[in-house]
Amino acid sequence: MKKVVSVLLAAGIIATTGAFAENVGVSSPAASPVASPVAGAVSSIIDFADGGFGFLGMDTTLGNADASELSVVDYNGGKALCVSPAAAGRVPYVSLNVEGLLGENLSRLAKITFDVGVELGTDGKFYAQSGKVYMVNGEDSSKQSADWSVYMERKNPKTAVVTVPAGAFVAGRGDTLQFSKEVDSFIDSKKFDGEAPRDFYVTNIQFFDAEGNVLPVDTTAEWVAPVTEEDRSYLYDVANAVEFPNFAYEGGGWSQDGTEMPQEFLDALVPGSVIEISYESEDGTMWIVLPDAAAGWSRVANDGSAAINSSKNTCQITYEQIAAVCGEDKSTWGARLQCEAGSAWKVYSVKVGQKVARKVATPVASFDGFSCEGGAWSQNGFDIPENVLDALVPGTALQIDFESEDGSMWLVMPDCTAGWMRVAQGAASISGGKAYITYEQIVEACGEDKAGWGARMQCEAESAWKVYAVSVVKLAEMVGSHNNVEFEGAACEGGAWGQNGTEMPENIVAALVPGAVINISYESETGNIWIVLPDAATGWSRVQQQTAATDGKTAQITYEQIAAVCGDDASTWGARMQFESDGAWKVYAVTVGQSK
């Protein structure tokens, strides 16, 4: 198998210790016997002499991953893979299709050797660097690891030797081998603010079996970039995010680690903001500690009240949750922010920004060919095709994929009967490089009669801008959900227009208060799901039939939406909650959380 899809590194780390040669410079490859070749094998060593490296690539799926540039360069009298990190505080993960390289010999792999060297600082001096070699299980994402380091100039480069535990790699599982660089003392010295992290070099990679035979490699193997979708379930989107530079720490269960908050991070901690933590922990928990707060050493959201996604790798804690523990005056919160969990944990990145409802867009029509750009306060665009005009109806929006220097974007309708019109100037909903302008906003400016909108649609911004695509979408908003209570026994399924469900436990009834949101993890043939309250005092009632906010995997129905059908008094809603769809459906899990 020459192709392998890298997988998200999200499970716990099992560490193993690798031994390393302490030679000066690069030793010549050992004259070991070569094992029986695999079909198509072209070499017993990966020395990058031919300039190719299609069997490897950058895995950027982890929250702290760096999108490093890869190239083959002249190095130490030969060739080497050069890994050039893009940003300080990020970790390059170079991922190899190890099964494609070794084929049927994968299970025999017992030892890996490679030469690794590091670039000198911009001052011409040597700075130590180190990282890890990860052996990643393709099924459950667990990984074993060994360390590498180049910590002396006279041993730069050096040969690293990694012992591979039995069973670390299994054919057909999608396993990968990864090289990372996790410590760069050039950057850590704080003497070179604004400088890029130093490059590192890898070459002369060899694989051995337990008897010391060299395993041949097929360097025509292909690496396929990870295909992953970020799990934003239960989470808000974060607007105007401010990164907490170099916040990457780890600890055991109930241990804390962190550092002082930079001023720009503190400035962004205001009412309505949320701290987002990219992490992993053995039990999925995560919260923060403010050890220097005037209110005393304080844990925040350690009671399960943090918003945590289904994958349990992203956690959100709001300004209001911190204020409830430490007071409204953030000057009394102390200088340090730490993280903690109920089990061994690792944090990859932290940021803060304004919490906004997550926009979920279902495509309706494409405005083909809409790609243009302009300077500040200049307009550019195209005639509106019939399919776009027909698709713009109540409940839809224009999605504009764009970039601009100041982040602004709106529409101009220059031929409108009502006159030359700007639409949604300063009022477009903007998130993640996408601006959303609703049908209703267009109608507010130009009227309900589409014939009066004119032939052309243009874009404009307060600064230089570029639009990559425009489409019509059906837009739903998914809210963040914290203090989530599991609805035990809610899993069930049914056919089209068939209802199924169960009685609501006391803890679910108690959680259904103003601001509550029901989160339904499901699948259905049509993409729809809604709830039925068969015993409501107002009568057998469907709630959000075909209109529940959904991202296709999780649907949300709020207390307020139920109250609009069944009244504000939850005691009159009846004992049972059922689910229904207009196609065959299956509900996997249900929680009730708080959105405010």
**Other beta carbons less than 10 A from residue 253's beta carbon:** 14
**In 3D, which of 59, 90, 419 has the Cα closest to residue 223?**
59
Tens digits of residue pLDDT in 56-103: 999 987 767 888 999 999 999 999 999 999 887 788 999 999 999 999
Per-residue pLDDT reduced to its tens digit, 458-514: 999 999 999 999 999 988 888 889 889 989 889 899 999 999 999 999 999 999 999
Q: 359-477 in CATH: which number?
A: 2.60.120.1070
Q: Is the peptide bond before 226 cis (omega within 30 degrees of 0)?
A: no
Q: Would you say domain 481-594 falls under CATH 2.60.120.1070?
A: yes
Backbone angles phi, psi at 405, to 5 degrees: -65, -35
The pLDDT of residue 37: 37
Q: Which fold has domain 3-224?
A: Jelly Rolls (2.60.120)
Query: Which pair of structure tokens corresponds to residue 444?
Result: 């507010």
Q: Strand 345-356 and strand 237-243: pairing? A: antiparallel
Strands 13-15 and 143-150: parallel
Phi, psi of 275 (to 5 degrees): -90, 130
**Model confidence pLDDT, tens digit, residues 261-297:** 999 999 999 999 999 999 999 888 999 999 999 999 9
- List C-alpha distances in Å: 443 to 326, 328, 409, 431, 458: 46, 41, 18, 22, 16
- Of the ranges 62-76, 222-236, 250-264, which one carries the lowest mean pLDDT score? 222-236
> Nearest to residue 337, comparing CAs of 244, 273, 274?
244
DSSP 108: G
Architecture of domain 237-356: Sandwich (2.60)
Confidence of residue 142 (pLDDT cuts 50, 70, 90): confident
Structural domain boundaries of the chain? 3-224, 237-356, 359-477, 481-594
Per-residue CA distances from 499 to 85, 238, 404, 584 (Å): 54, 36, 48, 10
CA 443 to centroid of chain Cα atoms: 36
What is d(CA 41, CA 474) in angstroms, rounded to the nearest whole number? Answer: 51
* The pLDDT of residue 119 is above 90: yes
* Cα–Cα distance, 156 to 28 (Å, whole number): 15
pLDDT at 395 (0 to 100): 83
Q: Above 50 in pLDDT, residue 15? A: no
Identical fold for domains 3-224 and 481-594, yes or no, is yes
pLDDT at 27: 32
Average pLDDT, the chain: 88
List Cβ neighbours of 9 (8 Å cut-off, separation of 6 or more).
Answer: 59, 61, 62, 93, 134, 136, 141, 143, 280
Stated pTM of the model:
0.57
Q: What is the DSSP letter of 527?
A: S
Quote the percentage of the chain above a pLDDT of 70: 92
